[in-house]
Amino acid sequence: MKNLHVLFCILIMMMFIGCGSSPSSTPDSGSRASASGTQVNNPQWLDETPPRDAFHGVGYIRLQDEGAALRAATRLARQDVAEQLSQLVQGMMTNYYREAGTLNNPTAIRHIEEVSRIVWNVDLSNAFVINRTPMPNNTWWVRVSLLKSDARNTIVEIFDNEADRYSTWLRDEAVRMLDNELNRSQSRPTPRTE
């Protein structure tokens, strides 16, 4: 009976060893099938969850000029962060106007759209690159990180600039709501390309 257990354990170990995947040719690359069934090369870090104190953005592009590809992928990654922040602010403002009972007011709608657009277009040069990964198919992937404290400062500056235009939007209330949203939110980068 003891020999049978030993033989069973050896068979199990051989199955695990035989089923193990071989390492990829690049240390930071992975591969998965796209919706069309073709293989798409992705960096291994793509599905990592960002830390709670930061927003991550991901951009990728395939260009022959390496420098241009890195700049474009970095720009796209920063745009991914800006979109996350824009969605957060738009949801926050929509909730504020809904609670105030003025969500259907044309001024409120214009205000939500305007502030969301400004956040979407904000320059996030303070979002720093944390990963740059070339893939075998000449695609460059870039991941950037923006601390939530920097995101807060950027959005508060936008609120300050907009406060004079919309008397119904109280700056202090907006900042309080922003702090709550930033503390509750988790970054979910969506890879961007052109």
70-116 pLDDT tens trace:
999 999 999 999 999 999 999 998 998 888 888 888 888 888 899 99
CB of 185 within 8 A of CB of 88? yes
* Distances 184 to 57, 87, 88, 167, 180 between C-alpha atoms, Å: 18, 14, 10, 27, 6
pTM, to two decimals: 0.69
Tokens of 53: 């104190």
What is the average pLDDT across 145-150? 95
Q: What is the pLDDT of residue 179?
A: 86
Tokens of 168: 């119904």
Rounded Cα gap, residues 89 and 87, in angstroms = 6
* Distances 125 to 55, 134, 171 between C-alpha atoms, Å: 14, 22, 25
Of 1.10.3470, 1.10.260, 1.20.120, 3.10.129, which CATH number belongs to 43-184?
Answer: 3.10.129
* Distances 62 to 7, 40, 46, 79 between C-alpha atoms, Å: 51, 12, 17, 17
Specify the DSSP element, H or E, that contains 40: strand 39-43
pLDDT > 50? residue 28: no
Q: Which of 140, 130, 194 is nearest to 26 (CA)?
A: 140
Tokens of 81: 């962060």
Reported as a pLDDT band with limits 50, 70 and 90, residue 131 is: very high
More confident residue, 9 or 101: 101
For a pLDDT cut of 70, what percent of the chain falls above it? 74
Q: How many CB atoms lie within 10 A of CB 82?
A: 22
Rounded Cα gap, residues 77 and 167, in angstroms = 34
pLDDT > 80? residue 30: no
What is the average pLDDT across 24-32? 42
Q: How many CB atoms lie within 10 A of CB 146?
A: 24
pLDDT, tens only, 44-57: 999 888 899 999 99
